Structure 1
Amino acid sequence: MDDDVSTEILEATYRALCKHGYADLTMQRIADESSLSKATLHYHFDTKEELLNAFLDDFLDRFGERLASESSDPRTRLDAFFDAIFAPAQDDTGEFPIALVELKSQAPYNDAYRERFVEMDRRMREVVASAVRDGIESGEFEAADPDTVARFVVTGINGMTVREVALDESPAETRALVEEYLDQRLGYAPEVAA
């Protein structure tokens, strides 16, 4: 598939998912968000589920790119990770967290969705555990089990999405709690913007 067509389909899927939610998402509604016809969508994807799997793959790739940090400093890597996780997307209308929770709610019934969310969780835990491990080894952080710390942090992040959607709680509140936990557990003090 041509990159431009692929990009248009995936961006239209994002918009339609945000606008209509998972339950009311149709191939026609995705087509309506693009310059393409429903027939063109079906030419590239046999079903809505196939298209949503491609959407989740793309989302996972982009998410992984946002989490990547070239810094060798573990504190800087954690700060960059938190900036990527907790900062709102610049073009986000606030509807995507709702769509994401809806997609996650389908994971118990859809193995393909579950696999993608398991991979997302694994990548987040890997970033946190690696930074924590490096910080402990360099003496910058206090001793702790990096995998346990990462699991706790990622559990908080996953809960943040539900709290944001269901309780209208700001992600900044979860970030403050996570950073407080890391400070108590590791002696991590986040960088403060000047």
Structure 2
Amino acid sequence: MTDTTVRREIMTATFEALSEHGYAELTAQDIADRTGKSKSLLFYHYGSKEDLVAEFVEDFLERFDERVEETRSLAPVERLATFVDWFLTDPSDGHDDREAFHVAMLELRVQAVHNDRFRELLGESDDRLREALEEILAAGIEEGQFVEHDPEALVPLLIAAFDGARIRQVTTGRDEYLSEVRRGIVEDLVDDVLADGVEFPPPGILEGVADGDRANDEDGSQDGDSTDEGVTDDSA
């Protein structure tokens, strides 16, 4: 549809504008202003605001897969920690980009209640996150880092905790939800499945991987689920 550089500029601009204005108030001009391109050029490539935002989600899904691959050199417990940190890192620790990404995804979740196209895309995002976490836990069992358990039963609890903490944090401004829920996940869920002698990494120890730095070095793009982030690189 567009060359890689232009597409990346448009997707980053869409993310920034969506995070700032919300979907209802978002306009093509908001996006165009961030790219230095005309609104007519945007509509040449994308027929509507919905098309632009749908492409943003599809871009996020592509980059999510890249991020999953980026973690494969790590031990399973470390891979799990990168996902926990992505969702539950306090923005006061210098991660405003992650908060902006989660704000953008919350905007889309609200729209998905009445928009079948967004609902389908976010459902695919949810499926990929579930599959990635289940694969990590299964690999951990095989490698002896996790005791025998049912990953398909544990993963929905993890995702519900991720989403619940983020929704409350971005809608109330209470950043403490993130650290409190992270602690609860580790102490009440993860510790129960860790094998003897295996410790869960503390917050921030895998910072570069959680931010996708190596992938960015390779393609020259900016990280941010997003999708984020390009901020479009996580899980929704």
TM > 0.5: yes
Q: Paired residue for 1:182, among 166, 180, 189?
A: 189
1:66-85 map, 5 Å: 66-68=67-69, 69-71=71-73, 73-85=75-87
User: Is the contact between residue 88 and residue 166 of structure 2 (CA under 8 Å) also seen in structure 1?
Assistant: no
User: What is the distance in 2 between the residues matched to 1:72 and 1:98?
Assistant: 29
Q: Which moved more, 1:31-40 or 1:92-101?
A: 92-101
Structure 2 match to 1:134: 139
Q: Compute the displacement of 1:27 (Å).
A: 1.0
Amino acid at match of 1:172: S
Q: Which moved more, 1:60-69 or 1:41-50?
A: 60-69
Distance 1:4 1:141, change over 3 A: closer
User: Is the contact between residue 45 and residue 51 of structure 1 (CA under 8 Å) also seen in structure 2?
Assistant: yes
Q: Compute the displacement of 1:136 (Å).
A: 2.6
Q: Which moved more, 1:76-85 or 1:43-52?
A: 76-85
Q: Compute the displacement of 1:159 (Å).
A: 1.4
Q: Compute the displacement of 1:160 (Å).
A: 2.1
SS across alignment from 2:162: helix
SS across alignment from 1:191: coil
Per the normalisation by structure 1, the TM-score is 0.87
Q: Compute the displacement of 1:116 (Å).
A: 1.8
Q: Among the aligned pairs, what percent are the same residue?
A: 37
User: What is the distance in 2 between the residues matched to 1:65 and 1:139?
Assistant: 26
Q: Compute the displacement of 1:46 (Å).
A: 0.8
Q: Compute the displacement of 1:153 (Å).
A: 0.6
Following superposition, which runs of at least 4 residues in structure 1 exceed 6 angstroms of deviation?
none
Q: Paired residue for 2:201, among 171, 191, 194?
A: 191
Structure 1 match to 2:214: none
1:139-158 map, 5 Å: 139-158=144-163
Q: Which moved more, 1:87-96 or 1:157-166?
A: 87-96
User: Is the contact between residue 66 and residue 84 of structure 1 (CA under 8 Å) also seen in structure 2?
Assistant: no
SS across alignment from 1:92: helix
Radius of gyration: which is bigger? Answer: 1
Q: Compute the displacement of 1:90 (Å).
A: 4.8
Per the normalisation by structure 2, the TM-score is 0.73
User: What is the distance in 2 between the residues matched to 1:175 and 1:93?
Assistant: 16
Structure 2 match to 1:45: 46
Amino acid at match of 1:97: H
Distance 1:94 1:153, change over 3 A: closer
Distance 1:162 1:71, change over 3 A: same
Q: How many residues align?
A: 193
Bigger RCO (CA 8 Å, 6+ sep): 2
Q: Compute the displacement of 1:94 (Å).
A: 4.0
Structure 2 match to 1:86: 88
Distance 1:119 1:73, change over 3 A: same
SS across alignment from 2:35: coil
- CA RMSD, Structure 1 to Structure 2 (Å): 2.3
User: Is the contact between residue 67 and residue 84 of structure 1 (CA under 8 Å) also seen in structure 2?
Assistant: no
